[in-house]
Structure 1
């Protein structure tokens, strides 16, 4: 390993083309993201074919900008890191193809990174003592519980650092919709903009979170062994259906249809005064229920495994109510909770370069046959 420790990270798993140069898994020298949000907002969600096309358009200028902002030359790099999955197949292939070509041309190692592990390292790279130490600083096996919650994922991982690398065990996942997906679908159902997370995060504080009593049923897996260790799974399709039924039974659809076109061009903060009390209460109750369920399941898992540290990452980790609720409830149990800074909550390449660092140190490199793994699992 050369002393520079410079890794260029490339991320293209969904609708953001990102590149970042990180030194030693911690020091972010640049972090550039080209978002496709405005384009996909026209369709109310990510269109895979359009996402792939935009990645092809953006990847070269994004990487050039990341290198320029970092103030380093390609020859200074020690490795190229790229997201190998999970994600959209076409989108992943754009990043992987570019990374493979660049690594070959520069004769540099190529490191494949799981997107979910990247989100976890978005917290670890910020250097909190109790959040876990990076490679080379400690060989202690200190287990932490990581909640990765975004538009495409809601997973709980028990994570341990052993012999310089991190190891993960999946102890909970969504059985249907991810939490962020539920936010997007409810926002669309109520005639709000895309993505739904920022809209609901902004509007929910103006409503009554107790107005609509949403409930989450206990998840029971058919044929499960009663004596087996419990799982801490999530399900968010039910609350989406409950919101739909509320809209139908309370005659809200005409008002929603009337505002849909107007709200497509508004910012969330501008919409507060244009929404009726019933809609604001519904949004507040929805968010209160989802955040409460995320916190409940995560803290149940922490109690079961005796974990004293929780990491929360992914796009939904930017949600203000989730940050506040999780922190306060965990503090009551003497558990520390850590979130990434807002810029590292959503998809970015700094987290990919950070997650690649332990693998680079261990010599865990990808071969020329690296391909996209859209359904790749972690742990």
Structure 2
């Protein structure tokens, strides 16, 4: 066995996707994700159902990750897992499994912060993405989180701003629900927005101090807008769906870009990376590309596979921590709230 090769098994179970990956050093050999479709009928993630589904999925997902990577579990150097933040019941499944397997194989255990992992996904060795140099600004945008972080090195990060209430992904999904679109609705808003006029309808942008965000007021204004117009015309949504989606998306992206512009101005850092599930949004990607041309930014966008919750990003943090010898004890516990 080549001693320079470190094989890390990574496990991610913070919300409703059960994922396992195998990395050889900083290269992903396999990245398996089991989605939970049971939540669609409820229009959102049901924590109790999520943790039960993780229990059903975790063994087959880990097995598949090892098979796809063509690795025997005896070759593993360490096991990395998501400690938090996330849904506690879901995190407990991944944490318990990782601890048991590490104990059984007598190999190190590595705890990973889910938010750090979204940022460090940029350091997975892959021809389809480039690594940002330090320092850089990271905007993490997902269903549960919205943050702007100044990243000074792999493990020195300063949160400059975050959401005071709802996350940007939740704003997309809840808006989609108001329009009668199925869960998760964020990608559907993106899809319909491509066919619509983003300036057709105007929504208020919340005034929030500093680099923090707020999306609850925007959601309320969208709700009243839908109620008001459907009372006048019951077919309003059907007749204007593309324009409504384009206008909602335009407003949300304007809020994000306004804060990002301010962060660049305040820090002087023009290397900007995004991560999290909402980083897959085509409108945000287009705005960042535009900023490269008009503002002289360097932007970094991970592969789609590393945007949403996945174990590949947990594995890269695991590998970087392995190199530093940062291992967890067997009494480590999952944490629903876990700051960078």
Residue number in structure 2 paired with 1:251:
230
Partner of 2:218: 239
Aligned-residue offset at 1:196: 1.2
Matched-pair contact (CA < 8 Å) for 1:207–1:277: no
Q: Which moved more, 1:48-57 or 1:232-241?
A: 232-241
Instruction: Supply the RMSD in Å over aligned alpha carbons.
Output: 1.8
The answer as to whether partners of 2:8 and 2:80 remain within 8 angstroms in 1 is yes
Q: How far 1:130 sits from its partner (Å)?
A: 5.3
Q: How far did residue 332 of structure 1 move? A: 1.5
Structure 2 stretches lacking a partner, 5+ long: none
CA distance in 1, matches of 2:242, 2:221: 16
Other-structure match for 2:33: 33
| Distance in structure 2 (CA, Å) of the matches to 1:328 and 1:80 | 40
Please give the secondary structure, in 2, of the residue aligned with 1:250. Answer: helix
Alignment of 1:32-181 (within 5 A): 32-36=32-36, 38-126=37-125, 131-132=132-133, 142-161=134-153, 165-181=154-170
Structure-2 separation of matches of 1:232 and 1:368: 38
Q: Normalization by structure 2: what TM-score?
A: 0.95
Q: Matched residues in 2 for 1:24 and 1:218: separation? A: 44
Query: Which residue of the partner structure matches residue 271 of structure 1?
Result: none
Unaligned 5+ runs, structure 1: 133-141, 221-230, 258-274
Cα displacement string for residues 85-117 of structure 1 (whole angstroms, at most 9, x for unaligned residues): 000001000000000000001111000000011
- Of 200, 205, 208, 1:211 maps to 200
SS in 2 for 1:31: strand
Is the partner of 2:161 in helix, strand or coil? Answer: strand
TM-score, normalized by length of structure 1?
Answer: 0.86
- Cα 1:256/1:167, change in 2 over 3 Å: farther
User: What's 1:350 paired with?
Assistant: 312
Report the CA distance shift for 1:87/1:4 in structure 2 as closer, same or farther (over 3 A). same
Of the three residues 293, 296, 300, the one matched with 1:331 is 293
Q: Is the 8 A contact 1:8 1:21 kept in 2?
A: yes
Distance, in Å, in 2 between the alignment partners of 1:276 and 1:96 is: 45
CA contact (8 A) 1:247 1:253 kept: no
| 4+ aligned runs moved over 3 Å, structure 1 | 126-130, 252-257
Q: Does 1:200 align with 2:189?
A: yes
